[in-house]
Amino acid sequence: MEKAASEGGIYMNIVYHERGRVFHLFNDSVSYIFMVLPHGGLGSLYYGKALRDREGFEHIFERVHRGMTACVFADTRSYSLDAIRQELPTYGSSDFRRPALNVLQENGSRILDLQYAGYRVMDGKPKLAGLPATYAEAETEAKTLIVEVQDALTGLRAELLYTIFATGGALARSVRYINDGTEVLHLQKVMSMSMDLPDADYDWLQLTGAWTRERHIEIRPLTTGITAIGSRRGHSSGQYNPFAALLRRGTTETRGEVLAMSLVYSGNFEMLAEVDNHGTTRLQAGIHSTDFDWKLVPGAQFQTPEAVLVWSDDGLNGMSQTYHRLYQSRLVRGQWREKVRPILINNWEATYFDFTEEKLLTIADKAAECGIELFVLDDGWFGARTSDYAGLGDWTVNRDRLPNGIDGLAEKIEARGMKFGIWVELEMVNEDSNLYRAHPDWVLSVPGRRKSLGRSQCVLDFSRKDVVDNIYGQMEAILASGKVSYVKWDMNRSITECWSHALPADRQGEVFHRYILGLYDLYERLTTKFPHVLFESCASGGNRFDPGMLYYAPQTWASDNSDAVERQKIQYGTSICYPVSSMGSHVSVVPNHQVNRMTPLHTRANTAYFGTFGYELDLNKLTAEEIAEVKEQVAFMKKYRAILQFGTFYRLQSPFEGNVTVWMSVSADQKTAIVGWYRTLNRVNYRFERVKLAGLLPDALYENSLSGARCYGDELMNYGLITTDGTAGEPNAENGLTTDFESRIYVLKAVE
């Protein structure tokens, strides 16, 4: 295989074979191969395990005569685009499958003929204008191929960007469109990536749910037709996460082939797999085409969001770990990228809107006693905000509630040895607010039509620069003193009546995307001006948990549902694509405020450890014994959070498949492993049980923190960690009494 050397002997390369006009992107793990087709378009050939480079791969290209088709070349019946695998398919010229690009032209036609026009290769990875994306800090970390195709009649030019990283099975794709012609074009569908696979022998995995049960795992076989997910809510949504994977039949967490796609975008999106009647699969991801219409005037450009593909033959864990490493270190940015997260307490479920400075300080006193590091003041500190009916949009402190202001409260919190943070919802406005009274046209609404309200609030028109500038100015004034160290950025409703008072009729199809660009602009400005602030994104919990947000905020509140049992499903599903360090997770009060369940305090903590960790309750209402337990939990998290948040994470047993959930994190040197074991319902006189671990050193001897037993790594990975219970109600020497909603944390340390 032809090699291009990089640091530490790692290699990657992008090779163009002139004879067959074939591109080969490869590293140690994967190859991605496509070609210039005989008619001038681009054709998909291969994405999978690394292949040795050779003089060409054009022999992989397949074509065959199919009846009832139209053909591109008049002299052949075996060249219909409907039966050819492609990289940027359009509709109307013999391909009847879903297009990746749809462009309305001035004469009403949507027909395009995109011809190969050249390529260039660059070391590293270019930024995407106005959009979040993965990045390379050194040119040796990645190579990028930019392939140009052009439609001669309209002058539309497309630059397809392919980035391969030096390590792992990840490939980043996006497209930039440039209008080099003289007519106005309307982009009506612009997929970030499209790829045709040679067969359909896959199961489709998606992360789905709703508010308070986000990112549950669903798997079903691909069949002839279209399997699709998406959001038209103005945000990526809790209904469907912008992630999907194809699994070879029989794939498990530890073995089997996976091909996944993740969209670095926070707005309306769609992902699909179309299986045609000859068994090939078209895979696509990008901005949702419904309600999208972008006016591309001569000389203008449009950049699609980035799609990140990952291939692995090490099962779901192998795929997930590739995303974890990439997103943790080359999507998240700034001072908090690799820093452990502070243990926080949030006052929301302790007080809701009913608080005073004195009440907050009594909670802070107890938090400081327990060793908590960050106090977060949630909703209700600003404007006329004593309920969710008023105040949003007026980001000035309510002096009736906080007579010493934000800075005064922050100083008192810092005097107790903690940092201070606030909650905001910058994209929303109440009609009962000074901002709305001054600028009613700043909300997304249609003149003469009723406005739909969600949580008594309207959505500000972030497609407008003057609106974004206003909110930036208000936030800049709050953060300028340096007293706020953390911001929880919420978004509590979907977008309806998506119409901007500032745009003409022929640009209203741009509003959804312009809104997201405005959101990204505000995040970029605030995070650049205040790099020390830890931002946590939130959208009624996990309704905008996506890679686009992680580019600006290194963690996201995983769900408004903080029940430990429900969180095991949510966090398990989230980990399919997202690293543990990105998951906002707290210990909350019981009975739980979402499901009214009573779970043990240790189970709530044992679940929340695998995330950012914090508390959402009034510590003053706990017993002395519970406070002692909280202190132990805080000490444990401080000791092990680097491994819990940044270690290699393995899913071992799924809450979607049984009564027991198991996962683990392993330190970089593989000498320490932390295993979380969770059982939903108790069992009576149950069978002997063990769980096979992963990621350990086979020859290392590990000591079990619960039993004191010493076992070698190969034994723990091949025979397993014993987790057997005793008879219900009887004490178990190793694991204690058995109850419903039980859990254990095993710390395994290699001994000399």
Q: Residue 643 and residue 664: Cα distance in Å, rounded?
A: 10
Contacts of 72 (CB under 8 A, 6+ apart): 39, 79, 80, 81, 93, 94
400 given a catalytic annotation = no
The one-character DSSP state at 443 is B
Query: What is the residue whose two structure tokens read 């080969």?
Result: 24
Query: By C-alpha distance, which of 667, 676, 697 is closest to 742?
Result: 676
Radius of gyration of the chain (CA): 27
Amino acid letter, residue 6: S
Count other C-beta atoms under 10 Å from residue 186's C-beta: 19
Three-state secondary structure readout of 83-105: HCCCCCCECCCCCCCCCCEEEEC
560 given a catalytic annotation = yes
Q: Determine the Cα angle at 444 with ends 439 and 447, to 5°.
A: 80
Q: Say if CB 512 and CB 498 are below 8 A apart.
A: yes
Q: Residue 689 and residue 724: Cα distance in Å, rounded?
A: 5
Q: Residue 492 and residue 715: Cα distance in Å, rounded?
A: 48
Q: Residue 316 and residue 576: Cα distance in Å, rounded?
A: 7
Q: Residue 471 and residue 526: Cα distance in Å, rounded?
A: 10
**Which of these is catalytic: 151, 461, 546, 560?**
560
Contacts of 535 (CB under 8 A, 6+ apart): 486, 487, 489, 523, 526, 527, 552, 553, 554
**Which of these is catalytic: 196, 293, 490, 563?**
490
First to last CA, the chain: 41
Residue 377, both tokens: 């003041």
Q: Residue 400 and residue 742: Cα distance in Å, rounded?
A: 45
Q: Residue 242 and residue 543: Cα distance in Å, rounded?
A: 11
Q: Say if CB 475 and CB 395 are below 8 A apart.
A: yes
Q: Angle, nearest 10°, between helix axes 357-370 and 624-646?
A: 70
Residue 558, both tokens: 């995983």
Residues serving a catalytic function are: 490, 560
